[in-house]
Amino acid sequence: MANIACLLLLLSVSVTGLHQVWAMKSAFKPRDVLPLLPRQVSWPILNRLHSAVDLLPVFVGAASSPDDNLQWKGACFYENKAWMVLHNKSGTEFGGGTLHIKVSNAHSWTCMDLYIFATPYRVTWDYYFLAREHTLEINAWEGKAEYEYVKNHGLSIFLLQAGMLGTLQALWEVFPLFTNTGWGENSNIKFLEKHMGASFEVRPQPWVTNVSADDIHSGDFLAVSKIRGRWGAFETLEKWVSGAYAGHTAVCLRDSDGNLWVGESGHENEKGEDVIALIPWEEWWDFELNKDDSNPHIALLPMHPDLRARFNETAAWEYALSMAGKPYGYHNMIFSWIDTLNGNYPPPLDANVVACVMTIWSQIQPEYAANMWNEALNKRLGTKGLDLPEVLVEVEKRGSSFDELLTIPEQDDWVYSDGKSTSCIAFILEMYKEAGLFDPIASSVQVTEFTIKDAYILNFFENNSSRLPKWCNDGDTVKLPYCQIKGKYRMELPGYNTMQPYAHMNERCPSLPTKYFRPKNC
């Protein structure tokens, strides 16, 4: 502790020359120096102060001319303003610009603010420790499009609201989400408890059901929740933004010989590609029991007998076979989540942050970006081949906005460069659609707009517990309305089996945690 005291004293002496700038401020705030304390003391406290959500940047505004008077409160400096001055110091065709950002009124001597600056064509960052006017030089714009964009709309500014130390701590919370360890599993559970309001009640053992495949029928639904490793982390984030209490799905089908198969979009093939596949039940179940290291929790949702009688098995097989081998539906994955201008983004997410993340990814992995959103954005505009910057410029030309573009509903008949695009849940619901379960309103329902939650709340499933298989929830003290067949923790599916399908279902639904309120007929 003596060394820490010396370090703090040295820090205090080193900033005494700045007393005129920071007059009347405390020398430091406890949260600013917590990382200097022993880890066993500091990290538990910092864990309470910051979370993985704090990694998300907050859009504070777009800096343009000095007359626009952009001002905001930062995490460290409470008074900030910025403006943009266009110039041609480089002598290039469209010149460049200087961002002026004046920061003042820091809450302590030891804090700093981190910022991301972006246009559709570039992303950069900087941090500010001293209260004064700072500048960010952009020597030359990428071309006329970027110049016109900045001239008309300014340079977007994003604040990392947790500050330097908070961001490092938030990274510390995010990292274990992706680790395939007990630490990672506990981190995913804590994240969902904290940010989603989920509960994880331990079930009595055994945690694996002795399933009789003879009791499983075509159309029965498999809800899967993974809680560790890479897929566990992605599912955790998906659950948080969508309100779904499962992160993956599959569907059962019997062939003409009575053999049971599992249809799944997102099955990893021998090349490591995520594709749509039809897998024998025994093979699928063995993998989940013995080879899937994400600790999957699985529930079987038996179809209601009346729906089963309507289920056209031949049409379902024709659809499944037509899709087998096609890539997983990355093209429309994020668009099933975003239905509204501001009702689907958990704070501090918003459309500006989404655009910023897309811009960063487009520069780092352009092929990934094209697969994830470029084609889908072009579909919504009725254009072809535009990259993300060109999409953003085109949207502005039309007098619209990027957040409005994101809310345009996906259409089931859209065909992408690699075929029709279906996520795990869209694949199942497209099959249900082909099999007649959405008749007579099938033509007015776009199932590519459905999240996993939207699917399991459909009233397609068994509602009479006496008709569930005898082995269903065997040994569990709580009798669920569905059959949990694997997992230490009891799976909860709020709203399960309660909603009648209707035209244009799930095209305008908000999904804000932790209540995930859903208006009628959205």
pLDDT at 407: 95
| Chain segment 36-92, per-residue pLDDT in tens | 444 443 434 344 444 555 556 788 999 998 888 899 999 899 999 999 999 999 899
Q: How many helices (H) and strands (E) does the chain have?
A: 17, 16
- Write out the E strands in 96-154: 96-106, 113-119, 122-128, 133-138
Residue 118 phi, psi dihedral angles, 5° rounding = -145, 145
pTM score: 0.77
For the stretch 476-481, contacts whose Cβ atoms lie closer than 8 Å and that sit 24 or more positions apart, written own/partner, are: 476/203, 476/204, 477/204, 478/203, 480/299
- Show the tokens assigned to 415: 């065909």
Q: How far apart are CA 330 and CA 424, in angstroms?
A: 10
User: Residue 413 CB: number of other CB atoms within 10 A?
Assistant: 7
Asked, as a colleague might, if the bond just before 409 is cis with ω within 30 of 0, I would say: no
pLDDT at 19: 30
Map residue 484 onto helix, strand or coil.
strand
- Show the tokens assigned to 478: 């709580």
User: Residue 470 CB: number of other CB atoms within 10 A?
Assistant: 7
Q: How far apart are CA 127 and CA 210, in angstroms?
A: 57
Contacts of 51 (CB under 8 A, 6+ apart): 170, 173, 191, 194, 195
The DSSP H or E segment spanning 321 is: helix 313-323
Map residue 217 onto helix, strand or coil.
coil
Helix axes 163-177, 39-49, angle to 10 degrees: 90
Cβ neighbourhood burial of 132 (10 Å; 0-12, 13-18, 19+):
exposed
> 239 and 233 in contact (C-beta within 8 Å)?
no
Dihedral sign from CA coordinates of 270, 275, 278, 280: positive
> 324 and 276 in contact (C-beta within 8 Å)?
yes
- Write out the E strands in 367-507: 415-416, 419-420, 483-486
| Chain segment 174-223, per-residue pLDDT in tens | 778 888 889 889 999 999 999 999 999 999 999 999 999 999 999 999 99
User: Residue 443 CB: number of other CB atoms within 10 A?
Assistant: 11
Residues (pLDDT < 70) of the chain are 1-56, 162-173, 363-365
Dihedral sign from CA coordinates of 410, 414, 419, 424: positive
Q: How far apart are CA 62 and CA 199, in angstroms?
A: 40
> 74 and 111 in contact (C-beta within 8 Å)?
no
CA 98 to chain CA mean position, Å: 34
Instruction: Tell me which residue of 42, 46, 35, 36 sits closest to 9, measured CA to CA.
Output: 36
Instruction: Tell me which residue of 435, 433, 436, 429 sits closest to 451, measured CA to CA.
Output: 429
Amino acid at 39: R
> 85 and 98 in contact (C-beta within 8 Å)?
yes
Q: How far apart are CA 135 and CA 312, in angstroms?
A: 66
CA 154 → CA 119, 218, 364, distances in Å?
Answer: 8, 55, 23
What pairing do the DSSP bridges indicate for beta strands 248-254 and 260-268? antiparallel
> 217 and 304 in contact (C-beta within 8 Å)?
no
> 100 and 137 in contact (C-beta within 8 Å)?
no
Map residue 159 onto helix, strand or coil.
strand
Which DSSP symbol is given to 270? T
- Show the tokens assigned to 364: 């780092």
> 57 and 160 in contact (C-beta within 8 Å)?
yes
CA 141 → CA 125, 134, 145, 221, 229, distances in Å?
Answer: 17, 20, 9, 52, 41
pLDDT at 7: 27
